[in-house]
Copies of this chain bind each other. A is one copy, B any other.
């Protein structure tokens, strides 16, 4: 059974002081930390492409896993909606070349936003098992600095650039359990790009998350025959401090198990959950963790991962 073996990440050292951004929009520090959740928003440099962020994260993964050779990688998925090129080619092909991987690698992009990591781990595991592949990389990299208008107070204080790389393969310490997914395209206009600029209806997205995510997590537990006491931690998409807090409160049981860690990263889209897993979960003593991603589409996905 293919599972999660290791996660590494790349967070640009350069970025924006979010207190200074807040001051520009007459938002105080309490708002920036309490509602937005991020004092600093990492930003890629202008000469870094999305594929370069992918390469940095993958190289960090290779560095921390010397037993994993580049030649052994036979599957590569990049989750992004802000790839290098205009639609084609896919970013994963460019990453294959920049990483110096074998040409025997199966590579494609998945287009999803903040729900992308939860979908991505099942897509990569399933594809590898269906095709008989052994060592896969799931890379998330969705630099919203490409599309966010710095004058848009609804978005410019929220998003940070980052990338993560997850090694999936056999004999993994973390296995994938039950998952549930959902899509509501009638909400597509609430998060979209027009003429190169991102638009978000923050109130609609907040309401959507609050309506969907706590109930989805309860359904996931119920259908798994589990209660919240069986789950050690909840790693949900870090959309903002306000949304993480509100989902945790609405979930009701043990809100303290919801990890919140975005002060130095911002909302990193599909990278937010793997950043939490890398920092708080993979090397912990915990046995079972629930994930939930939600956003663009509208799309959501919740899943359990566990130590076998």
CA distance A113 to B94 in the complex (A): 14
* Contacting residues, chain B, for A86 (C-beta < 8 A): 193-196
Q: Is A298 an interface residue (CB 8 A)?
A: yes
* Contacting residues, chain B, for A20 (C-beta < 8 A): none
* Closest residue on chain B to residue A123 by CB atoms: B127
* Closest residue on chain B to residue A84 by CB atoms: B188
Interface residues of A in 50-90 (CB under 8 A from B): 74, 76, 81-83, 85-90
A107-B297 contact given A130-B125, A132-B178, CB 8 Å threshold: yes
CA distance A87 to B180 in the complex (A): 25
Q: Is A119 an interface residue (CB 8 A)?
A: yes
Partner pick for A192 among B89, B105, B119, CB 8 A cutoff: B89
* Contacting residues, chain B, for A97 (C-beta < 8 A): 184-186, 188
Contact bitstring A97-131, B, C-beta under 8 A = 1, else 0: 11001011111111111001001001101111111
Partner pick for A296 among B90, B98, B131, CB 8 A cutoff: B90
Number of interface residues of A (CB under 8 A): 67
| A residues apposed to B, CB below 8 Å | 74, 76, 81-83, 85-98, 101, 103-113, 116, 119, 122-123, 125-132, 147, 176, 178-186, 188, 191-196, 198, 296-299, 301
Contact call B191/A88, Cβ cutoff below 8 A = yes
A105-B188 contact given A123-B123, A126-B123, A299-B93, CB 8 Å threshold: no
Contact call A88/B103, Cβ cutoff below 8 A = no
Contact call B106/A181, Cβ cutoff below 8 A = yes
Q: Which 3 A-B pairs have the closest CB atoms?
A: A126-B126, A97-B185, A106-B181
Contact call B131/A179, Cβ cutoff below 8 A = yes
* Contacting residues, chain B, for A193 (C-beta < 8 A): 85-88
